[in-house]
Amino acid sequence: MEKDAFDDILDQWSAERPELDTSSLGVVIRIMSLYRSFLRDATRALEPLELELWEYDVLSALRRQGRPYSLSASRLARETDLSTGAMTNRIDRLEEQSLVRREPHHSDRRRVMVFLTDEGIARIDNAIHQRLNSAALSLRSLNKPDQQTLASLLRKLVLNAEPERPGACPP
């Protein structure tokens, strides 16, 4: 298999410190590099829709719930791996764009429910196609069985790294 730039880094460490096992570092630095690349790709894919990735994340979390496309503000924060304060700020910004609306919870006035508006539904339904196309392009060098194997291996890492809740990285 062809060597990449990370192989050079690992080879340098092996030459300098031959007693070290650098194999785990090789996996981690490649994943970190891919994260940055995938993040750039996702951001670029959403630019024509004038949608930022954080906006996509929130709208996606609501859309995946099914009708009536709503979650409590605190659950929405958990779904997107944010603090409730950060989520309040994001809801404010999405509400200004008429992509979501807030309503008091029907039985607990202390809770706030966040709903997708018709405009929010249209934006996320368009954006999911862009995200899927971007993801497919990012993985074009892997066939479907390789993608499934990689997903399975990464799932093991995610479950081991954060047993309570994996970090949010919505589709």
pLDDT digits (tens, 9 = 90+) for 85-98: 899 999 999 999 99
Backbone dihedral angles phi then psi of residue 104, each to the nearest 5 degrees: -65, 145
Contacts of 52 (CB under 8 A, 6+ apart): 43, 46
Query: Structure pTM?
Result: 0.82
Task: Spell out the domain ranges in the chain.
Answer: 51-171
The distance of Cα 169 from the centroid of its chain, to the nearest Å, equals: 2
Q: Which residue, chain included where needed, has tokens 């950060």?
A: 86
Judge: domain 51-171, CATH 1.10.10.10.
yes
The pair of three-digit structure tokens given for residue 152, joined into one six-digit string: 């399975």
User: Hey, how many other C-beta atoms are within 10 angstroms of the C-beta on 57?
Assistant: 19
pLDDT in tens, 58-84: 999 999 999 999 999 999 999 998 998
pLDDT value of position 171: 52
Amino acid at the residue 57 = D
Q: State the Cα–Cα distance between residues 162 and 34, nearest whole angstrom.
A: 20
